[in-house]
Structure 1
Amino acid sequence: MKKLFILLCFWQIPLLAQDLGGLKGQKPVTVSGGLNLGFNTYSNLEGRQRLDPFSWTISASPVISFYGIQMPFFFLINQQSQSFSGPFQQFGMSPSYKWARLHLGYRNLSYSNYTLAGRMFFGAGIDLNPGKFRFSAMYGRFQQASLRDTTRNTFSSLPSSFRRMGYAVKVGVGSSQNFIDLIYTKAWDEENSIKIPIAEGITPAENTTLGIVSQLTFFKKISWSTDIGVSGYTSDINAKDLTGTISLDSEFLKKLFLLKRSTQVGYAANSSLRFSSRFASLQVQYRLISTDYKSMGAYFFNNDVQEILFSPSFSFWQGRVNLSGSYGIQQDNVSKTKATQTTRNIGSLNLSVQPSAKFGMMMTYSNYGTFQNNPDRIIDTLKIQQVNQSLVVAPRFAWGDRVVSHSINLMSSYQNSTDYNTVSKQLLEFNNLFLSFNYLRNNMKQKFTISPGGIFIKNFLSYGNTQSMGVSLNISKNLKSFSNSLNVNYNQNYYKENANGYTFNARWNGRIRLSSKQQLSLSAALLYNKDLKFEARNFTEVYTQAGYSLNF
């Protein structure tokens, strides 16, 4: 017998700017939110049973407001779980008064991309911005201590982790348009927070980062932004001290970082110069992240990358024609520790034309190339040299009046991937052609919409071409308190120019408005798939759904 699963009280207060100065105008306590009931049925007329014949869900999202401070809850009940779970709570608030703001509980702050970058923590923080002075600080727990659940499958349970604490300070001067900030962050694992599992071999770590963030605006048209970070990441604080000659001043590094044999010092920088006017703009951006760059104040870095990017844009004919593009070069092996260096050329071009309200067109072209600097020194199976191109053309037409309107949307795209590796090209090289047509007629007075369409897809592959052609029809009709729509799709599939089966699906959706705060939803769907090559892929399925929602 299936038991009840309850996920109770996912509680997180996303308040970012609660102004304590306005408490007099706030109601002491208010309650709002919503309640949803859902019932689903599933019938399999042919093929393998994939879902439960019947399922249900009850959810509620009440929001209690105390003097304007919102406390949202989430409550969910269904029949999927084998046990009772909860509560799980995350509570946080950020009240402010004039130029001061306080952060309490579960919060996330962003000082820069390479230091404290939105990492969730449980603790306290403060922002002070009187005039041109900028100050912010935080202290809290970034990660709870946890032990791997050895009673479960190894791949399905999370690895053990230490409790991770940290603090950060940001000091700067300026305004939102022109400023410079200095940032210092430090985080560490508490070694005694868990009993280290010998089988896992995890070690407590420590991290210190320094950052500089600035933005300057000149003549209201030129802006220059910079983000620089230096990080010392020690993966094992119990490792032996680092000795010997150090490339930088060892006394300075010893004061700045915890230097162990497991310490990696990394650097990262991002600088962007932008010129913008009424008719044109140009942005030049440079990004550099070393191989070893890590920060406990951020979730993820795409490191070992060096990139320069040019992005111009132009506007003509009073904004009716817009042209933009970009070209960049991206490389790895920043720290020169690899035998080869991989380079990517990144280019794109976008054109938008809207000469009148009746006609418009969008065109996009992109080219991405990847290659290595010394391919002759690499064995054939490991060579990387690829070029990916794509072209999209999408014209649109519209006509009619305020009562009856018509529109036609066309789209064609071509994608090409060329692999110059003689071994992998058989699997990675392909060409794709996509065509679609859609007509829409909308009668505002009758609240009736009809939209037929068609689609064509063809993939040119080395092991055999595939193809799909289909038609669709969407119809909707709205009444005073009742709206419904019908969607029908049919697709014929081909493999090596031979018919390989088809797919048919139809779905009806209805919605009844019972009152200004209540509504009832209904839907029914039929999905039929026929595969001439693999009988196991043949199935016929019917779905129904009924739901009730209440807003209070």
Structure 2
Amino acid sequence: MLKKNKVNIAIIMLLAGFSFQSQAQDLSQIGKGKAIKVNGGLSLSQLYNTAFGGDLSREPYSYYLNGNINFSIYGLSIPLSFNFSNEQFGYSQPFNQYGISPTYEWITLKAGYTSMSFSPYTLSGHLFLGGGVELRPQGPWTVSAMAGRLQKAIPVDTAVGNQPAFHRFGYGTKVGYQGKGYNLNVTFFKSKDDPSTANQLTDSLEVFPEENLVLGIGGSTTLFSRVSLNFEYANSAITRDIRSEGVERGAFQPFPSGGALFTHRLSTAYHQAFKTGVNYGGNGYTVGLAYERVDPGYKTHGAYFFNNDLENITVNGGTQLFKNKLSVSANVGLQRDNLDDTKINQMTRWIGAVNTNWTVSKKLNVSASYSNFQTYTVIRSQFEDINNIDPLRPIDTLNFTQISQSINTSANYVLKADKEHVQSLNINLSAQQSSDEQSGEQQNTGSAFYNSNIGFSNQWKELGLNIFTSVNASWQEAGETQNTTIGPVVSVNKALFEKKLRLSLTGAYNNSYAQSDLTNSVFNCRLSAAYQYKEKHNITFTNAFLTRSTPQDDGSTNKATQLNGTLTYTYQF
């Protein structure tokens, strides 16, 4: 009866539409040990919010119920997690997602919301709703396959001005062969939009139903024990509008003509991507040569972001010096665009990435890195975290920016270190240069982001006391516009009752400026207490106060105050 109830609980949770996610599970233990084991945890949080002198941006009272339960049936682990709240967040991706990846010996199955990667130019970590399989038997062969929804249909909604999208379904496979001293793999990936799934969609919105077919091949080998070779090639056919007229296949197009697999149309374009490299490993150093070319317009539905119209020729190397105290790795080369000679101007530039880490002494460690390879990342000022007084409301991380160059440096110096007292000083500096596009919208050329902080930590081990102070600064430059935020942070942490109770008090004050004019001043103070009872029970209370002062054009100051409290109980079983 107990086993039946446990199974019923799992079924009810799934039908309730809770989040259901898991890692790959090993089925090889079926029939061994205890039949069913259950463990997990529950967390209940209650929040109150009050605002003075301004609008309350969220509900005055909110609650969050989170939980995770892991059912182990003869070694088959099925973790479930659920989230329930009276408040919803506006994310573009569905919040309730589920997925499972059981493994039996050399077979791994994937179902629900999951992701797979075949190669950088075909399928590369794109989330899909469907199923997949990875077969890795003993012997030289491996096979991976997937099929599922890559993109959810989004109808036109003129009231909110959303970005409509068609339902997109994709499938693909990767077959690999591991020989003696070499490996080879071939990849196939296909996706197609359903033109009937976005209502009221007109061509004026420039959103068209697309079709994509990608064929790829890659591999690597080792020569003379020290020399390694690798390559990756893909050819992608993109049909911008599947409603356009069909045409005959060209002489050099590697795709079959017509049929259910792919139809060549007037709006179909064919692009290639290729990357290869050779590396030599010596005694204490490595050196290599790499070449990459991605055609203009190269695109695959299996990746979210992609840089194209580029050719890179690079030399890389790495070594350790001064009895391994200094490690250096570098990648330097030449890059150019306008590969099809359609642009008025061609860009040719030196590219490179350098990473160093230097253990100067037992007390001082310094690291630095620089790169001007184009990458996608989330740009966020450190003050977004400092001024966020709601610990349960995550900051949006979906706003990706294309970075053309970045530099980061940090240094940590231990002023004092003994059995009772530790003092250290830490400095961090970072700078990032963005390109012309952010979240799909054109930006002013030359946007730059700078973050810096210097912190001092003072820790008394016997007392369980730690005091941390820092000064933080952020700058953003876009054309003639300059935005600056600067201010100090002080944090005091104390452990009591054999570290079962932990108290923390943090205060921060920062000013923001546009050009040299003060735009607002923010002061926040956060008091928190966390108590652990018999290892399984945890109670946390946080009370946060934030006040924001904004100068007005008439010389007055608009003040707004927020008070936020959170009480959380967590139980682990």
Same-fold call, TM > 0.5?
Answer: yes
Amino acid at match of 1:62: I
For the residues of structure 2 that align with 1:100 and 1:274, how far apart are their CA atoms?
33
Which deviates more, 34-43 or 331-340?
Answer: 331-340
Residue in 2 that maps onto 1:404: 421
Residue 473 of structure 1 is aligned with which of 483, 490, 511? 490
For the residues of structure 2 that align with 1:102 and 1:54, how far apart are their CA atoms?
42
Amino acid at match of 2:155: R
Matches within 5 A, 1:144-293: 146=153, 148=155, 153=159, 155-156=161-162, 158-161=164-167, 164-174=169-179, 178-188=182-192, 194=196, 197=199, 199-200=201-202, 205-237=210-242, 239-243=244-248, 246=250, 248=252, 258-277=263-282, 279-293=284-298
Residues 357 and 398, structure 1, Cα contact 8 Å, conserved in 2: no
Residues 156 and 200, structure 2, Cα contact 8 Å, conserved in 1: no
For the residues of structure 2 that align with 1:447 and 1:87, how far apart are their CA atoms?
39
Residue 148 of structure 2 is aligned with which of 121, 141, 144? 141
Residues 167 and 197, structure 2, Cα contact 8 Å, conserved in 1: no
Secondary structure, aligned partner of 2:167: coil
Residue in 1 that maps onto 2:133: 125
Secondary structure, aligned partner of 1:334: coil
Residues 105 and 124, structure 1, Cα contact 8 Å, conserved in 2: no
Secondary structure, aligned partner of 2:306: coil
Q: Could you tell me how far 1:499 is from its partner in structure 2?
A: 6.9
User: Which entry has the higher C-alpha Rg, 1 or 2?
Assistant: 1
Which deviates more, 117-126 or 446-455?
Answer: 117-126
Change (3 A) 1:51 1:230: same
Residues 154 and 163, structure 2, Cα contact 8 Å, conserved in 1: no
- Cα displacement string for residues 117-165 of structure 1 (whole angstroms, at most 9, x for unaligned residues): 3443524535153322x14153633358857276x73634743426x25
Residues 179 and 214, structure 1, Cα contact 8 Å, conserved in 2: yes
1:16 and 2:20 matched: no
- Cα displacement string for residues 26-58 of structure 1 (whole angstroms, at most 9, x for unaligned residues): 532222222111111222233343333322222
Q: Could you tell me how far 1:59 is from its partner in structure 2?
A: 2.2
1:74 and 2:77 matched: no
1:506 and 2:525 matched: yes
Change (3 A) 1:199 1:172: same
Change (3 A) 1:537 1:301: farther
Amino acid at match of 2:495: N
- Cα displacement string for residues 271-315 of structure 1 (whole angstroms, at most 9, x for unaligned residues): 233334453233433222223433344444333332233333321
State the aligned residue count: 512
Residue in 1 that maps onto 2:358: 353
For the residues of structure 2 that align with 1:225 and 1:391, how far apart are their CA atoms?
30
Residue in 2 that maps onto 1:3: none
**Normalising by the residue count of structure 1, what TM-score does the alignment of the two structures yield?**
0.78
Change (3 A) 1:209 1:510: same
Residue 53 of structure 1 is aligned with which of 53, 60, 80? 60
For the residues of structure 2 that align with 1:294 and 1:498, how far apart are their CA atoms?
44
User: Sequence identity of aligned pairs in percent?
Assistant: 21
Q: Could you tell me how far 1:507 is from its partner in structure 2?
A: 1.1
Change (3 A) 1:428 1:116: closer
1:445 and 2:479 matched: no
Residues 503 and 528, structure 1, Cα contact 8 Å, conserved in 2: yes
Secondary structure, aligned partner of 2:31: helix
Residues 360 and 397, structure 1, Cα contact 8 Å, conserved in 2: no
Secondary structure, aligned partner of 1:51: coil
Q: Could you tell me how far 1:454 is from its partner in structure 2?
A: 3.1
Amino acid at match of 1:515: K
Change (3 A) 1:275 1:46: farther
Change (3 A) 1:13 1:219: farther
Residues 8 and 88, structure 1, Cα contact 8 Å, conserved in 2: no
Residue 104 of structure 2 is aligned with which of 91, 96, 99? 96
Residues 21 and 97, structure 2, Cα contact 8 Å, conserved in 1: no
For the residues of structure 2 that align with 1:468 and 1:13, how far apart are their CA atoms?
39
1:332 and 2:303 matched: no
For the residues of structure 1 that align with 2:47 and 2:200, how far apart are their CA atoms?
47
For the residues of structure 2 that align with 1:209 and 1:429, how far apart are their CA atoms?
35
For the residues of structure 1 that align with 2:147 and 2:435, how far apart are their CA atoms?
50
Amino acid at match of 1:354: T
Which deviates more, 110-119 or 504-513?
Answer: 110-119
Residues 232 and 258, structure 1, Cα contact 8 Å, conserved in 2: no
Residue in 2 that maps onto 1:524: 543
**Normalising by the residue count of structure 2, what TM-score does the alignment of the two structures yield?**
0.75
Which deviates more, 339-348 or 350-359?
Answer: 339-348
For the residues of structure 2 that align with 1:225 and 1:268, how far apart are their CA atoms?
14
Residue in 1 that maps onto 2:395: none
Matches within 5 A, 1:309-324: 309-324=314-329
Question: Alignment RMSD, CA only?
Answer: 4.2
Amino acid at match of 1:453: S
Change (3 A) 1:153 1:531: closer
For the residues of structure 1 that align with 2:101 and 2:481, how far apart are their CA atoms?
58
Q: Could you tell me how far 1:471 is from its partner in structure 2?
A: 3.0
- Cα displacement string for residues 452-474 of structure 1 (whole angstroms, at most 9, x for unaligned residues): 33346678998687765533321
Residue 116 of structure 1 is aligned with which of 114, 123, 134? 123
Residue in 2 that maps onto 1:379: none
- Cα displacement string for residues 170-219 of structure 1 (whole angstroms, at most 9, x for unaligned residues): 242337x731112233444567xx47746446766543322111022335
Residues 167 and 194, structure 2, Cα contact 8 Å, conserved in 1: no
Q: Could you tell me how far 1:13 is from its partner in structure 2?
A: 4.7
Q: Could you tell me how far 1:533 is from its partner in structure 2?
A: 4.9
Change (3 A) 1:104 1:292: same
